[in-house]
Chains A and B, each alone.
Chain A
Amino acid sequence: MSETETGWETVIGLEIHAQLATRSKIFSGSATAYGAPPNAQANLVDLAYPGVLPVLNGEAVRMAVKFGLAIGAQVAHHSVFARKNYFYPDLPSGYQISQYELPIVARGSIDVVLDDGTQKTVRVTRAHLEQDAGKSLHEGLPGVTGIDLNRAGTPLVEIVSEPDMRSAKEAVAYMKKVHTLVRYLEICDGNMQEGSFRCDANVSVRRKGAEKFGTRAEIKNLNSFRFVEKAINYEVARQIDLLESGGKVLQETRLYDPDKGETRSMRSKEEANDYRYFPDPDLLPVELDDAFVESVRVTLPELPDEKAVRFGSEYGLSAYDAGVLTSSRELADYYEAVAREVPKEPKLAANWVMGELAAALNKDGVELGSAKMSAERLAGLLKRIADQTISGKIAKEVFEGMWAGGATADAIIDAKGLRQITDTSAIEKAIDEVMAKNPGQLADFRAGKDKLFGFFVGQVMKATGGKANPAQLNELLKKKLPG
Chain B
Amino acid sequence: MKIHTLTLAQLSKGLRAREFSSVDLVRGFLDRIDAHQPTLNAMITVMRDQALSAAEAADRELAAGRGGPLAGLPIVHKDLFCTEGVLTTCGSHMLDNFVSPYDATVVAKLKAAGAITLAKSNMDEFAMGSSNETSYFGPVRNPWNTDLVPGGSSGGSAAAVAARLVPAATATDTGGSIRQPAALCGVTGVKPTYGRVSRYGMIAFASSLDQGGVIAATAADAALILREMSGFDANDSTSVDMPVPDYMAGLDAPLAGMKIGLLKEFFDKGLDAENEKRIREALAIYERLGATLREVSLPNLPLSVPAYYVVAPAECSSNLARFDGVRFGHRAKDPRDLMDLYKRSRGEGFGAEVKRRIMTGTYVLSAGYYDAYYLKAQKVRQLISADFKRAFSEVDVLMGPTTPTPAFPIGAKTSDPITMYLNDIYTIGANLAGLPAMSIPCGFTAGLPVGLQIVGPHFSEGKLLNAAHVFQRETDWHTRVPERFS
Q: Which A residues contact B (CB, under 8 angstroms)?
A: 44, 47-56, 83, 85, 87, 89, 92-95, 145, 147, 274, 276-278, 281-284
Contacts and interface: CB of A to CB of B under 8 A. Distances in A.
A116 to B, nearest CB: 44
A89 B337 CA distance: 12
Contact of A278 (B102, B329, B374): B374
A286 to B, nearest CB: 11
B315 interface: yes
Query: 3 tightest CB-CB pairs across the interface, nearest first?
Result: A94-B321, A281-B208, A276-B365
Contacts of B207: 281-282
Nearest to A91: B321
B321 A87 contact: yes
Interface in B317-342: 317-318, 321-324, 326-329, 338, 342
A89 B322 contact: no
25 contacts: A44-B101, A48-B322, A49-B100, A49-B101, A49-B327, A50-B88, A51-B80, A51-B82, A51-B100, A54-B237, A55-B237, A83-B318, A87-B321, A89-B324, A89-B326, A89-B338, A92-B322, A94-B318, A147-B326, A276-B318, A278-B315, A278-B370, A278-B374, A282-B237, A284-B238
Contacts of B206: 281
Contacts of A274: 366-367
The CB with the most chain A CB atoms within 10 A, among B98, B314, B322, is that of B322
A133 to B, nearest CB: 13
B203 A48 contact: no
B90 interface: yes
Contacts of A51: 80-82, 100, 104, 200-204
Interface residues of B, number: 45
B120 interface: no
Given A44-B101, A50-B100, A55-B237, A278 B328 contact: no
Given A95-B321, A278-B365, A53 B326 contact: no
A283 B237 CA distance: 6
Given A56-B237, A278-B374, A282-B207, A50 B318 contact: no
B39 interface: no
Interface string B340-367: 0010000000000000000000100111
A89 B315 CA distance: 21
Given A94-B322, A278-B318, A278-B365, A52 B200 contact: yes
Contacts, number: 99
A56 B237 CA distance: 8
B200 A50 contact: no
Contacts of A147: 326
Instruction: Decide if the interface of chain B is mainly helix, strand, loop or mixed.
Output: loop
B97 interface: no
A99 to B, nearest CB: 15
Instruction: Decide if the interface of chain A is mainly helix, strand, loop or mixed.
Output: loop
B63 interface: no
Given A48-B327, A55-B237, A274-B367, 11 more contacts: A44-B102, A50-B203, A51-B81, A51-B100, A51-B104, A53-B236, A55-B235, A55-B236, A276-B362, A276-B367, A278-B315
Given A51-B202, A276-B318, A281-B207, A94 B324 contact: yes
B220 interface: no
Given A87-B324, A93-B322, A94-B324, A52 B374 contact: no
A52 B200 CA distance: 6
Interface of B: 80-82, 88, 90, 95, 98, 100-102, 104, 199-204, 206-208, 234-238, 314-315, 317-318, 321-324, 326-329, 338, 342, 362, 365-367, 370, 374
Contacts of B90: 50
The CB with the most chain B CB atoms within 10 A, among A87, A95, A281, is that of A281
A94 B234 CA distance: 24
A204 to B, nearest CB: 22
A80 to B, nearest CB: 12
Contacts of B318: 83, 85, 94-95, 276, 278
Contacts of A49: 100-102, 327-328
Contacts of B81: 51
Contacts of B234: 55
A53 B342 contact: no
Nearest to A56: B237
Contacts of A56: 237
Given A278-B314, A281-B207, A53 B235 contact: yes
A281 B315 contact: yes
Contacts of B101: 44, 49
A276 B367 CA distance: 7
A50 B98 contact: yes
Contacts of B201: 51-52
A85 B201 CA distance: 22
B221 to A, nearest CB: 26
Contacts of A283: 237-238
B80 to A, nearest CB: 8
A161 B170 CA distance: 50
A64 B326 CA distance: 33
A44 B88 CA distance: 15
A278 to B, nearest CB: 6
Contacts of B362: 276
A384 B204 CA distance: 72
Contacts of B326: 89, 92, 147
Nearest to B234: A55
The CB with the most chain A CB atoms within 10 A, among B98, B102, B206, is that of B102
A88 to B, nearest CB: 9
A53 B237 contact: yes
Nearest to B366: A274
